[in-house]
C-alpha cells in the first residue's frame, strides 16, 4: 500500500510544482518585458478581471467533481444582473442584490433537480437552461438597465485597501469553498460521487441530494458573479455573459480537473483562473490583436493540459 | 405509462405555447386577414441588443399608427441560415413585402434571391446588403465618425492621445466605417496620437469597461476615448471613473443610447454621440414599404441624418416613449 502511495504523492507534488512554476514564469516574463505589468493600475485590473471567471470556476468545479457540467452559468450571470438592476428602483440596494443572488440559487436548484431527480444528462439540462434563462433575461428587460443611485456601483468598484472588495469576496468563496470540499462530509461526498456514485449510494449517502447541492452552489456563484459584474459595469445588460461558461470550464481543466468527475482541486482551479487572466492581460499589454489573442489562448490551454498529462505519465 | 407521459409533455408544451403567444398574434391568418391592408414581414437577424429590438418595435409601432397593416416579425437569433428559413416562412404566409433588419450580418444572398424569385419588395433597414433590394434606409456611419472627430478636434485644442475602442468582428464594416471617420479627421492633425485598443469591446458595456481598464494600464495620458457604440463607452466611463481620471478624459460614442444621452445631459465627461436612431429608421422603413406597395416610385438608398448630440441639444433627443 505505502509503496503505491509514494509515487502518487510525488506525482502530485510534481504537477503542482510545474503549475506554480508556470504562473511564476508568466509573471516574471510579464514584469521584465513590459513596463506596465507591475503598475498599480494593472495589478488592480488583474484582481478585478479575475472575479467573474473565479466565481464561475469554483461553482463549475463543484459540478464537474460530481461528473456533471453547468453550461447555464453565463445566462445566470445575465439574469441575476439585470434582475438586480431592475429591482433597485423598488428595493433597497442590498435587498435587490440578495434577490439577484437568490435567483441564481433558484436556477441552480432547478438544474440540480432535473439532473438528479429525473436522471437527465447534465449537458442537455444545462444547455436547455442556458437558452431558457437567457430568454428570461431578455423577457425581463430587452434594454440595458442603468440604476441611477451611485451606491449601486459600490460592490463592484469599492476597494479594501489595495484590493477590490469584489476580489476579496471571490477569495473568500475559494477559501470557504476549499474547506467545504475537503473538510466537510457534504463536500467529500460530492467528490466521491464523481469517483463512483454507486459506491457512495451503497455507503448510505444520499447521492441525489448532493448532486442538487452541487448545481445549487454553481447557481449561487453565478448569481453572485452576475450581481458583482452589473455593479462593476454600472449597467446591467441582458446580453452579457455569452460563453462565460467556457472560461470557467477552461480554468477547471487547466487546474487538472477531470470532466469525468471525482478529480480536481480548488487550489489548482484558482491557479487555472490566474493563468487565464494572466494570458488575457499579457496579450493586451503586448498589444496582440484580438483574433490572435483567441488563437493563442486556445493553444496555451492545450499546452498546459498536455504538460500536465506528460507529467503524470512520466512520474 | 410512457404514452401518458408523452401526452402530458405535449399538453404542457401546448399550454406553454398558448401562454407565450401574445394576443396580437392571435388573428394571424395570413394576408387574407387584412382585407384592404397589407401584411408586412419583418426579418430580424438578431433581437438581442437594444438597438435591434428597438428597430423591431419601431416598425411595429409605425404599422399600428398607420392602421390596417399587419406585421409578422421573426428573429433569426444571429444565425444567417435561420434568417433565410424565416424569410421562406414569411413568403409561405404570403406577406406583401419584407423588411430586413440585418444587424451585424455582412450579406444575405440567399435571402435576397428568394425574395426576388417571389417578386416581393424588400426594404433593408440600417444594414445595407450587396445585391438586389428595392430600397435601403440607414445611417452614414463614416459621417458619424467624422462628426465625432471634428468635435474632439475642437474640444482638445492642445491635442493629445485619443483611444479608440472597437466593437469587434461581428459588426466589422459598420464599426470600421465609424472608426475610419474619426481617424480621417484626427490623423490629419499632427497634435493627435491615436491608440487603438488591441482587444475588441464586443459592443457591450462590460467589454468597454475591461478594454478601457487595459488601455489605462498602459496609457495614463489619454485625453479622449472614442467607442464604436455608446454601450462600450458607458462601460469605459465606469473604468475611467474607477481610475479617478474623469476630469482628464472626455468620451465620444455613437448611437444615442438612452443612458448615453443622460450622461451627456448631466454634464459628465461623456461629451458627444452621433444619433443613430432605431425609432426613426424603423418608422421610415415601414413607411417606405407601404409607399412601394402603394405603387409609388421611391428613392433606392436613403441616408438618415445622424445629428451630433451634445449637452446643448441632448434634451430634445431624449424620448421617454422611444424603444431605444
Of A45, A143, A283, which has the smallest distance from its Cβ to B213's Cβ?
A45
Residues facing B194 on adjacent strands: B162
pLDDT for position B27: 42
What is each CA distance from A262 to A63, A193, A252, A259, in whole angstroms? 10, 7, 13, 9
pLDDT for position B239: 95
Judged by DSSP in three states, B15 sits in: helix
Number of domains in chain A: 1
Per-residue pLDDT band for B268 (boundaries 50, 70, 90) equals very high
Q: Which helix (H) or strand (E) holds B227?
A: strand B222-227
pLDDT tens, residue by residue, B137-185: 999 999 999 999 999 999 999 999 999 999 987 557 889 899 999 999 9
All three cell numbers of A222, joined, read 453565478
Nearest-angstrom CA–CA distance, B303 and B312: 24
pLDDT for position B8: 67
- Walking along chain A (315 residues) 10 residues at a time, the average pLDDT comes out as 48 74 87 86 89 97 97 98 96 97 98 96 97 95 88 91 94 97 95 91 93 98 97 91 93 90 92 90 82 83 76 48
Q: Which helix (H) or strand (E) holds B165?
A: strand B160-165
Query: CB distance from B213 to chain A under 8 Å?
Result: yes
Of B48, B198, B257, which has the smallest distance from its Cβ to A287's Cβ?
B198
pLDDT for position A11: 63
Per-residue pLDDT band for B34 (boundaries 50, 70, 90) equals very low
pLDDT for position A142: 83
Q: Do B258 and A143 touch (CB under 8 A)?
A: yes
pLDDT tens, residue by residue, B297-317: 999 999 999 999 999 999 888
Q: Do A283 and B204 touch (CB under 8 A)?
A: no
Helices (DSSP H) in chain B: which residue ranges? 2-20, 50-66, 80-92, 109-118, 141-155, 172-186, 205-218, 230-242, 258-265, 278-293, 314-317
pLDDT for position B28: 41
Query: CB distance from B221 to chain A under 8 Å?
Result: no
Helices (DSSP H) in chain A: which residue ranges? 2-33, 40-65, 73-87, 93-116, 122-140, 154-157, 165-183, 185-195, 197-202, 207-233, 244-254, 266-285, 290-314
A6 in a structural domain? no
pLDDT for position A292: 83
A97 in a structural domain? yes
Per-residue pLDDT band for B322 (boundaries 50, 70, 90) equals low
A304 in a structural domain? yes
Q: What is the pTM of this model?
A: 0.82
| 8-state DSSP, A67 | T
pLDDT for position B171: 55
A191 in a structural domain? yes
Q: Give the list of residues 6+ apart from residue B197 with CB closer than 8 angstroms, or none.
A: B163, B164, B165, B166, B211, B212, B214, B215
pLDDT tens, residue by residue, A111-140: 999 999 999 999 999 999 999 999 999 999
Query: CB distance from B11 to chain A under 8 Å?
Result: no
Q: Do A144 and B209 touch (CB under 8 A)?
A: no
Query: CB distance from B175 to chain A under 8 Å?
Result: no
A42 in a structural domain? no
A259 in a structural domain? yes
Q: What percent of chain B has pLDDT over 90?
A: 65
Comparing CA positions, the residue from A58, A44, A62, A250 lying closest to residue A167 is A44
All three cell numbers of A184, joined, read 466537510
Mind giving me the DSSP string for A271-297? HHHHHHHHHHHHHHHTT--HHHHHHHH
- Note the maximum CA span of chain A: 65
Cβ pair A92, A37 in contact under 8 A: no
pLDDT for position A3: 42
Among chain A residues, CA nearest to B206? A233
Comparing CA positions, the residue from A260, A241, A258, A268 lying closest to residue A52 is A241
Query: CB distance from A235 to chain B under 8 Å?
Result: yes
Q: Do A144 and B218 touch (CB under 8 A)?
A: no
Among chain A residues, CA nearest to B232? A233
Of A36, A143, A290, which has the smallest distance from its Cβ to B199's Cβ?
A290
A74 in a structural domain? yes
Q: Do A234 and B50 touch (CB under 8 A)?
A: no
Domain range holding A241?
49-314
Q: Do A285 and B214 touch (CB under 8 A)?
A: yes
Judged by DSSP in three states, A89 sits in: coil
Nearest-angstrom CA–CA distance, A180 and A274: 21
Q: What percent of chain B has pLDDT over 70?
A: 87
Q: Which of residues 88-147 of A touch B (CB under 8 A)?
A: 138, 142-144, 146
Distance from CA of A187 to the nearest CA of B (A): 33
Mutate one of A78, A79, A140, A290 to test the B interface: name it (highest B CB count within 10 A).
A290
pLDDT for position B79: 87
What CATH number is given to the structural domain containing A98? 1.10.3470
Please report the sign of the dihedral spanned by the C-alpha atoms of residue B107, residue B111, residue B113, residue B118: negative
Residue reference for cell 430634445: B316
Q: What is the mean pLDDT of chain B?
A: 87
**Domains of chain B, each with CATH number or no CATH:** 26-133+278-305 (3.40.50.2300), 141-276 (3.40.50.2300)
A22 in a structural domain? no
Cβ pair A193, A261 in contact under 8 A: yes
Distance from CA of A303 to the nearest CA of B (A): 23
Amino acid at each position: 500500500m505505502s509503496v503505491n502511495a509514494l509515487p502518487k504523492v510525488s506525482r502530485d507534488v510534481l504537477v503542482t510544482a510545474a503549475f506554480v512554476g508556470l504562473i511564476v514564469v508568466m509573471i516574471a516574463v510579464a514584469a521584465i518585458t513590459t513596463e506596465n505589468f507591475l503598475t498599480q493600475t494593472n495589478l488592480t485590473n488583474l484582481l478585478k478581471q479575475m472575479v467573474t471567471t473565479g466565481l464561475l470556476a469554483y461553482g463549475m468545479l463543484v459540478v464537474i467533481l460530481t461528473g456533471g457540467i453547468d453550461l447555464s452559468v453565463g445566462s445566470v450571470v445575465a439574469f441575476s444582473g439585470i434582475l438586480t438592476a431592475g429591482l433597485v428602483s423598488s428595493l433597497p440596494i442590498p435587498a435587490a442584490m440578495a434577490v439577484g443572488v437568490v435567483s441564481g440559487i433558484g436556477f441552480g436548484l432547478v438544474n440540480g433537480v432535473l439532473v438528479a431527480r429525473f436522471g437527465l444528462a447534465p449537458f442537455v439540462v444545462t444547455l436547455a437552461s442556458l437558452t431558457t434563462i437567457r430568454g428570461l433575461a431578455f423577457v425581463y428587460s430587452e434594454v440595458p438597465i442603468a440604476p441611477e443611485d451611485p451606491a449601486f456601483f459600490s460592490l463592484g468598484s469599492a476597494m479594501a485597501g489595495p484590493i477590490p472588495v469584489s476580489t476579496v469576496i471571490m477569495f473568500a468563496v475559494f477559501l470557504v469553498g476549499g474547506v467545504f470540499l475537503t473538510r466537510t462530509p457534504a463536500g467529500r461526498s460530492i467528490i466521491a460521487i464523481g469517483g463512483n456514485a454507486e459506491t457512495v449510494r451503497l455507503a448510505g449517502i444520499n447521492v441525489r441530494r448532493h448532486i442538487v447541492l452541487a448545481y445549487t452552489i454553481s447557481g449561487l456563484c453565478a448569481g453572485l458573479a452576475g450581481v458583482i459584474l452589473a455593479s462593476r459595469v454600472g449597467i446591467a445588460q441582458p446580453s452579457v455573459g455569452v460563453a462565460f461558461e467556457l472560461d470557467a470550464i477552461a480554468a477547471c481543466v487547466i487546474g487538472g480537473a477531470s470532466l469525468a468527475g471525482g478529480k480536481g482541486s480548488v487550489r489548482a482551479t484558482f491557479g487555472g483562473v490566474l493563468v487565464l487572466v494572466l494570458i488575457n492581460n499579457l496579450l493586451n499589454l503586448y498589444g496582440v490583436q484580438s483574433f490572435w489573442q483567441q488563437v493563442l489562448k486556445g493553444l496555451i490551454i492545450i499546452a498546459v493540459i498536455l504538460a500536465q498529462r506528460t507529467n503524470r505519465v512520466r512520474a | 405509462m410512457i404514452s401518458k407521459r408523452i401526452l402530458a409533455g405535449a399538453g404542457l408544451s401546448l399550454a406553454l405555447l398558448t401562454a407565450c403567444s401574445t394576443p396580437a398574434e392571435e388573428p394571424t391568418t395570413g394576408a387574407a386577414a387584412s382585407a384592404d391592408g397589407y401584411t408586412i414581414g419583418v426579418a430580424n437577424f438578431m433581437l438581442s441588443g437594444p438597438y435591434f429590438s428597438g428597430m423591431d418595435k419601431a416598425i411595429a409601432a409605425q404599422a399600428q399608427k398607420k392602421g390596417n397593416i399587419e406585421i409578422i416579425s421573426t428573429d433569426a437569433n444571429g444565425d444567417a441560415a435561420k434568417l433565410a428559413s424565416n424569410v421562406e416562412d414569411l413568403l409561405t404566409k404570403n406577406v406583401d413585402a419584407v423588411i430586413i433588419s440585418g444587424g451585424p450580418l455582412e450579406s444575405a444572398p440567399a435571402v435576397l434571391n428568394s425574395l426576388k424569385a417571389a417578386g416581393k419588395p424588400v426594404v433593408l433597414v440600417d444594414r445595407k446588403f450587396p445585391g438586389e433590394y428595392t430600397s435601403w434606409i440607414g445611417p452614414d456611419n463614416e459621417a458619424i465618425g467624422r462628426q465625432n472627430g471634428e468635435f474632439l478636434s475642437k474640444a482638445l485644442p492642445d491635442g493629445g492621445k485619443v483611444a479608440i475602442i472597437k466593437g469587434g468582428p461581428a459588426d466589422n464594416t459598420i464599426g470600421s466605417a465609424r472608426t475610419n471617420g474619426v481617424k480621417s479627421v484626427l490623423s490629419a492633425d499632427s497634435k493627435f496620437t491615436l491608440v487603438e485598443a488591441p482587444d475588441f469591446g464586443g459592443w457591450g458595456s462590460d467589454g468597454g469597461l475591461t478594454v478601457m481598464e487595459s488601455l489605462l494600464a498602459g496609457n495614463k495620458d489619454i485625453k479622449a476615448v472614442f467607442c464604436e457604440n455608446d454601450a462600450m463607452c458607458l462601460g469605459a466611463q465606469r473604468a475611467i471613473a474607477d481610475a479617478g481620471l474623469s476630469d482628464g478624459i472626455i468620451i465620444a460614442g455613437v448611437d444615442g443610447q438612452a443612458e448615453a444621452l443622460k450622461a451627456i445631459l448631466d454634464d459628465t465627461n461623456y461629451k458627444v454621440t452621433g444619433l443613430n436612431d432605431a425609432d426613426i429608421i424603423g418608422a421610415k422603413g415601414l413607411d417606405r414599404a407601404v409607399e412601394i406597395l402603394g405603387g409609388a416610385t421611391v428613392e433606392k438608398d436613403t441616408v438618415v441624418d445622424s445629428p451630433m448630440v451634445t449637452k446643448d441639444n441632448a434634451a430634445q433627443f431624449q424620448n421617454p416613449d422611444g424603444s431605444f
